[in-house]
Every structure is written in structure tokens, then in C-alpha cells.
Structure 1
């Protein structure tokens, strides 16, 4: 066993600890990313806007507004959901130096192509349509695709970032400190919300 701690591993652990302690996504700083993993300013804006479209403002703040875009950048930099695993097949998609897919570059290129060249410059309804089409292609009816779209990881991490933020966990969902109390028979109404502290009942996919 070596006493050396890799900087990436340390920062990854710090980010995960912040999530475990319930720190809002916006409080996780991009300064915790290695220089070669930093996104371009446009990619950072894209991550925010896409997060906001996936989970827009309703009775609570949207995902982009609570900092999920920056969480997404951190998550990919540190390889959450095996996002830094080298691809097993050749591809013309943008790759990182370690052979893994650069999800932010992929997202930027995919959305720009689908919107005629500039996703961020498109009208809000057009951006929503492009993202809806990408989502429909990534999650077709029936069994999951054998080769999932990178969008599946992007969307999954957006949902994870939002529902582990203060807004998502305590306002959008309900929260009760474990162990709490046990109610074996409760009425379910249209206003019922899942509990963020009950991980067996919360799905992000």
C-alpha cells in the first residue's frame, strides 16, 4: 500500500463528501478540477442551460439555477457513473487523453448539429425540441439499448445533481432525518412527493 494520494482521487473524494453532506451543487467549485478537465466558457454555459431545460423552474428553482451545470462538469471530470472508462471501440466522437468520451464536447457538438449550428443561439422552444428529440432517441420504448447514448449518463447526472442539492432534496422532495417514524398505511394524493431520505424509493433515471 502506498502513501501517495493522487490529486484527482483526492478531489473526487472531496466532491463526493460534499454531496454526502448535502452541500448544494452550486457550492462545489470548478477550481477542484484539474486544468486539463476544465470546460470552455461556452461548455459551462451549455451545461447550465441543458440542466435547466431538463429540470426547469416550477414551484422551486430549476437545475441550472441551483448549480447543477457545474456539478455535471465536476462529475465528468471525476468519472462518476464510470464516465472516465476508456471506450472499447473506435469512434469519431471527442475523446479525453485517457481514451474516455469527453461528454461535454460530445453534448456541445451533438446539440449544435441538431439545431443547425448554434444550440445556445436558438430560440428557447427550439432548444427544448432538440433536447426532447435527443432524449427520445436515447430512451426508446422497450428494453434499454445495448449501446446506450452518452445522453443517458448526462441526464442521469443532471438528475443526481439536482436531487442531492438543497433545493432538490429538501424542497422538491420531502426530507425526514433517518430513522424518523414508521407509518405503515398512508394516503397517496396527487400532492404526494417522494422522500429524499428514502433512497429505496428514489430513482434518478
Structure 2
């Protein structure tokens, strides 16, 4: 099992959660979560907005458009990407569960509001983008990673997972070819070519 990157078990879990998220209304799915795990309306709006900032709408729908925010709440409640593992030496003020695991959604809300010096969601779109970009740059530095990995790393990975296992992300943003056909060992690539959703070596979720 690869604990640092993508693995088949994580993919199947993510795909199952996404299928559930798309098979019924997000409100019904989130209402089925335990009260202590269910996001508030403000948190749901935040997760949708952050998902949309990570993958905005272009020629295809953005991550927020396809319900990735709701998927993120479900994924965090079920502990995908190790998000229910107890944390060691968590900084003071981080919102931990009784079992020592981090509430990533609450952490994200607190962190973005802290950076915004108020309500992150009340900021203009350009400012929200800049604040999230700064958080992303710190979580994925060009040099050695920080001693305490940022929770944003797991959150961003789950956003990418949710989007690229959706119909929009998997068959429209990526090229979908369930039967590849003949084997070509060397094919030309052109600028702007989309990766194939069936080629997991070409899709890195972190």
C-alpha cells in the first residue's frame, strides 16, 4: 500500500463516495452524517468555493460545480487520505476530535478566516484566490517540506480526487477511452493534450 500517494483502495473508496454523492442530493447525504461530522451551511459553502478555486470553470464545469465540496465532507468523515488518523504534536488551536484526529474542514475555515483577518467568504473573488494560493504555496514549497505537513495537502488531494472521479472530470476534462485499442509505444503529444482518465500514471493526485 502506498501511503504517500494514490492507491487502488483509496480510488475505489473515493469512487464509491462520489457515486453516492452524485446518486442523491448532497443535502440528504450530509444529513446522514453524524451530527459531530456534518458541516454547517457556512462550511459547505466554503468547501464548494475552495473546490471551485482549485479547479475553476473553463470549457468544462469546475470542481465546485460538480459537487466536490459535498464529496469532500463525506471523504473527511470517512477518513480518506488518512484524515482520521490521530495527529502527533498538533499546533495549539487546531480543532481535534476526541480521538486526536484533525477536523480538516474546521481547520480550513479557521485558517482561511485568519488569513483574511475576518470572513474569508466575504472577501472579493480575487482576494479569496490570492489567500488560497498563498496557503497552497506554503503547503507545497519548492524546497524541503515543513516538519509539520500542512492539512491543506490532504484537502487538495481529495478535491482533485473528487473532481477527477466525477463524470465531468473523468470523461470531459480528461479524455475517456474505456477500450484503448491497439498498442502504440510512441505517440506524439501536443501542447494542450488532455490526459486519459484511464491512465493513472498520468494523473497524480498528490
TM-score clears 0.5? yes
* Cα displacement (A) at 1:90: 4.6
Alpha-carbon distance in 2 for matches of 1:119, 1:182: 49
- Which residues of 2 match residues 1-205 of structure 1 at below 5 A? 16=12, 19=15, 23=19, 25-27=21-23, 29-91=29-91, 92-178=93-179, 180-205=181-206
Cα gap change, 1:141/1:35 in structure 2, threshold over 3 Å: closer, same or farther?
A: same
CA shift digits 1:162-193 (9 cap, x unpaired): 00110000000011115643222211011311
Task: State which drifts further: 110-119 or 176-185.
Answer: 176-185
Where structure 1 has 5 or more consecutive residues not aligned to the other structure, the ranges are 1-12
Provide the aligned C-alpha RMSD in A: 2.3
Check whether the contact 1:24–1:165 (CA below 8 A) recurs between aligned residues: no
Superposed CA offset, 1:39-92 (max 9, x none): 111001100000000100001000000000001101100000110011122532
| Normalised TM-score (structure 1) | 0.86
* Change in 2 beyond 3 A, CA 1:63/1:99: same
Count of matched residue pairs: 192
Q: What is the SS of the residue equivalent to 2:178?
A: coil
User: Gapped runs of 5+ residues in structure 2?
Assistant: 1-8
- Tell me how far 1:142 sits from its aligned partner: 2.1
Query: What TM-score, normalized to structure 2?
Result: 0.85
SS of structure 2 residue aligned to 1:120: helix
The CA distance in 2 between the partners of 1:170 and 1:149, in whole Å, is 31
Q: Distance in 1 between matches of 2:193 and 2:180?
A: 20
Q: 2:60 & 2:20 partners in 1: Cα distance?
A: 14
- Cα distance between partner residues in 2 of 1:160 and 1:177: 19
Partners of 2:14 and 2:134 lie apart in 1 by 34
Q: Look up the SS of the partner of 1:35 in the other structure.
A: coil
In the alignment, is the contact (CA less than 8 A) between 1:30 and 1:70 conserved in 2?
yes
2:18–2:71: 8 Å Cα contact kept in structure 1? no
